[in-house]
Structure 1
Amino acid sequence: MEMERSSSTERFQPMTSVNSGDGIPVGEDLYSYTNQVVNVIFYGKPGVGNEWVLIDAGMPKSGGKLMEAAAARFGDNNPPKAIILTHAHFDHIGGLIDLLEHWDVPVHAHPLEIPYITGKRDYPDPDMTVEGGMVAKMSSMFPHEAIDIGAKARELPSDGTVPHMTGWRWIHTPGHTEGHVSLFRESDGSLIAGDAFVTVKQDSLYKVMTQELEVSGPPVYLTPDWVSAEQSVKTLAQLQPQAALTGHGIPATGEYLQNELAALAEHFKEKAVPDHGKFVDGEK
């Protein structure tokens, strides 16, 4: 079956940050690589021929950049064992079809997220009316259409394990999307949070460009369920992670992460939920 693209993979977004093209290692086997304004995560120890897994797939038209970064870390002609999606917003699947045209690998996502990568359902329009900064006002240009990767789409295992990531478990963290997941490794407290929370104020253009560290709620213009989003942050705070790699912003670690995440969970309505917006006001 031929895969079907949409504006979520084809409409280049003219946004970037000071960290675009850079990567930050966290421990021996985690690497947060920034593609314009979003992070993809490489899991696996660097070295030619080593097995690895890709978490999320970057901005539209980013496939070439992601393959170059992967080759630099794991060697040429060494595709990942799998791609894991925290969710399927345009900035997390933008390079996916380009990658799949070169890599014959499965793509795993929560069952509730599968319709968005099999052409069956589009996300709601972003909310440009929401309280927030310039990025929120620009969000009307962000694509929300489904793509279709056909049989390459696989549901994550129902037992909570993560394919090819021994020792990790996936946690359903809805709110930002219905099928959003985060990944956690108990042995060292490593957390891949996706957009359940982020470490930059994502609606502020200045902070996005400068990547100023700030533990924040999920991006306001694409979060339709704030009740679930709050519960998801509380669930992740209870894990007391030692390191968090998020979809936006630089990795956070140690006491700073634990204290700021606990504060976000305790004061979520004040710190994260916008005062107004169509999702907050119950509009569709």
Structure 2
Amino acid sequence: MMKKSNDGKFIPMTSVNSNSGQEVTKDVFYYTNQIVNIVMIGEVGKEGWVLVDTGMPKCADEMIAVARSRFDEHPPAAIVLTHGHFDHVGNVVDLLTHWPDVPVFAHPLEFPYLTGLQDYPEPDTSVEGGMLAKLAAIYPHESIDIKERLFPLPEDGQVPFLSDWQWIHVPGHAPGQIALFREGDRLLLSADAIVTVRQDALYKVLMQKKEINGPPRYLTTNWKAAYDSAVKLQQLRPALLIAGHGEAMEGKDLTMGLSRLITEFDKIAISKHGRFVD
């Protein structure tokens, strides 16, 4: 039987882009749920689409309404989870109840957090940063259990139901975090390995101020892996990036921002202190 996390609750956070979406190509649409992005891959009105991540807790009705507005009553062919943090799996149990035949795919290293075996470490509120770093104490961190519908991503890097996409292991923020990349148009879904807003600064999150940043500091436990993952994604030379947090970016701003992030990762991304900072 599926189970939500014991500490799952509505988080009273928002941004100027909350409850709005943007179609970046004819088959890729991202939607901002409070402060996190979900992505729907598939052409409007057609079957076989794929949902990437499921948003903040207690927002399932909103997710279903967005899906219905784009794909009518067609359920997704699958849900792909970039990782298991609360803001990416917040509605997965309710969505699986609503769509009873939909499988979920994730990296095996995330399975302990998705099958009730292990909780994530509590958010590190001691990191350098703004108000959101301090408020992270209220964020859920306990595991969910969806093992009856959960499957490992194929080892060959293919994404189920998306033949032109590949998944890429980008740990650091979470052990089994993945990004998705489409070579044809160099479109990258970076999850939280790279974000386009300073996620620990309340004003910047509220206003969705665009800037390339490393993963959210208060939930990142391995900074060496986080740096290596950022380098791996920059080397893909993405033309368009949709991150787990922040607005989509492309062109010169994206290229220069990624270059600066890698060059100055210690300064831009890593806190000067914290439980997981060496």
For residues 114-161 of structure 1, what are the alpha-carbon distances to aligned partners after superposition, in whole Å with 9 as ceiling and x for unaligned?
111110111000001110100000001101000001220110000100
Structure 2 counterpart of 1:244: 241
RMSD: 0.9
Residue type at the aligned position of 2:236: L
Residue correspondence of structure 1 range 90-239 to structure 2 within 5 A: 90-103=86-99, 104-239=101-236
Match of 2:256 among 254, 259, 262: 259
Give, in angstroms, the shift of residue 24 of structure 1.
1.1
SS of residue matched to 2:179:
strand
Q: TM-score, normalising length from structure 1? A: 0.96
Give, in angstroms, the shift of residue 25 of structure 1.
1.1
| Percent identity (aligned) | 51
Structure 2 counterpart of 1:5: 4
Match of 2:38 among 40, 47, 68: 40
Any conservation in 1 of the 2:77–2:102 contact (CA below 8 Å)? Answer: yes
Q: CA separation in 1, counterparts of 2:68 and 2:137?
A: 34
Any conservation in 1 of the 2:47–2:76 contact (CA below 8 Å)? Answer: no
Q: Gaps spanning 5+ residues in structure 1: where?
A: none
Any conservation in 1 of the 2:174–2:220 contact (CA below 8 Å)? Answer: yes
Q: CA separation in 1, counterparts of 2:275 and 2:198?
A: 20
Structure 2 counterpart of 1:23: 21
Residue type at the aligned position of 1:86: T
Residue type at the aligned position of 1:194: A
Give, in angstroms, the shift of residue 37 of structure 1.
0.5
Q: CA separation in 2, counterparts of 1:217 and 1:7?
A: 29
For residues 11-48 of structure 1, what are the alpha-carbon distances to aligned partners after superposition, in whole Å with 9 as ceiling and x for unaligned?
1100011111100111111111000010000101112x
Q: Gaps spanning 5+ residues in structure 2: where?
A: none
Q: TM-score, normalising length from structure 2? A: 0.98
Match of 2:273 among 253, 268, 276: 276
SS of residue matched to 1:101:
helix
Structure 1 counterpart of 2:69: 72
Q: CA separation in 1, counterparts of 2:255 and 2:149?
A: 36
Report the number of matched residues: 277
Structure 1 counterpart of 2:77: 81
